[in-house]
Copies of this chain bind each other. A is one copy, B any other.
Amino acid sequence: MGACIQNRIKQNSLDHSLTRDFYTSPDIYLLDLERYWGRNWLFAGHVSQIPNVGDFFLFDFGNESVIISRDEDDTISAYLNVCRHRGSRICLESHGNKRTFTCPYHAWTYNLKGDLIWAGHMPESFKSSNYSLKSVNLMNFQGLVFICLADNPPSIAPTLEKLAPLTRPFALEQLKIAHSASYPVAANWKLALENYMECYHCAPSHKEYSKSHSLKDPDEMEALIPSLNIRSEAAGLLIGEINSTGPTSTDIGTDCYYRRYPLFSGYDTGSNNGQPLAPLLGSLASYDGGASDLQIGSLNNFLIYSDHVIAYRFIPTGLQTSDIQTFWLVRGDAEEGKDYVLDDLTWLWHVTTLDDERIIRHNQQGVNSFHYHPGPLSSMEFGVSEFHHGYLTMLAQE
């Protein structure tokens, strides 16, 4: 595999789509899980999901399941959901509150720090301390919780320090998840992610989005930015961008992108009628009519309006099956029915994701042809190219 994968990586050119086997080969899918999903920071959830000692939730992807929980010291930690005895899942509930995790098979029992505190009938030489649950790296950025399975995760902290002041006015740590949804798609996860990484398809494919979001037309967008900046400053936002992605990132897996772009006139937020959807986030004084594209690490994408946030992830569930998982977040103190209406809040990115599911599925069908060859990328697909840069580099690393 070692030599082979290097050759297959070299067939690729960064200004084209990937070669066929990266979307069709079981070998490469296993490498994707091991070398890319196993090494990158992954968005697991939000601190509001586990406010109290003993609260936990699971984050499942590919073959893995991770427990994120809050222990008696009020520390949030992550552990692999795999018993150290014979490998059973130890936690079967998607979320809840526990003081210990007892394996449903032979009752090996772990505390909230992952220590093994009970195992019956073991030989005298057996040392419980050697059989703690595998610890998983965890990072909390303004309430957004990320995990990484690798022993040495990408050093993203310095970049996030630069990001922090730009996102601080939104008070992300005070959000709550108003709704989440999963959209299964019959395609390799990379086709789903690539779809998110460019707005070249927005005008042809997303009529609802394109009605209100200028990103679909770079020239039009640029013209609207000066007036957006004035409104953003008035609302209490700092003006600034971060573009440390692909070849310009400080290190593989440390990608970070932040840019606020204008909605069209008449749109305060990503709503159908342009009207607000929920209370203003954090310390914002007013609607600026903008939306911030935020990427943290290789795989985690967020869209920040003045009154809500969307989080997107593209979870591999098989070689040609994925889940597009979407989260809608609002102020933690907002009340459903009173401060926001769920159907209105979720409308835009529900219809847009349904469109994307169809597009991505047909992309996979075409790529499966033995006669598919990588085609050239447009200037609006720089994000795809930057993803490929980091992806191919990371896959090449033993």
Contact = CB atoms under 8 A, between A and B. Distances in A.
Interface of A: 17, 33-34, 38, 63-65, 80-90, 92, 102, 104-107, 119-123, 126, 131, 134, 149, 194, 200-201, 203-205, 218, 358-359, 362-363, 365-380
Given A87-B17, A123-B379, A362 B104 contact: yes
B65 A378 contact: no
A383 to B, nearest CB: 13
A379 B380 CA distance: 63
Contacts of A379: 121-123
A149 B371 contact: yes
A33, A358, A365, A366 interface centre (most CB from chain B within 10 Å): A366
Contact of A366 (B88, B107, B370, B372): B88
A33, A106, A122, A123 interface centre (most CB from chain B within 10 Å): A106
Given A34-B370, A105-B359, 7 more contacts: A65-B365, A85-B376, A105-B362, A106-B205, A119-B378, A122-B378, A134-B371
A366 B83 contact: yes
B89 A365 contact: yes
A63, A86, A134, A371 interface centre (most CB from chain B within 10 Å): A86
A131, A200, A358, A376 interface centre (most CB from chain B within 10 Å): A376
A86 B362 contact: no
Given A86-B375, A200-B121, A378-B121, A33 B370 contact: yes
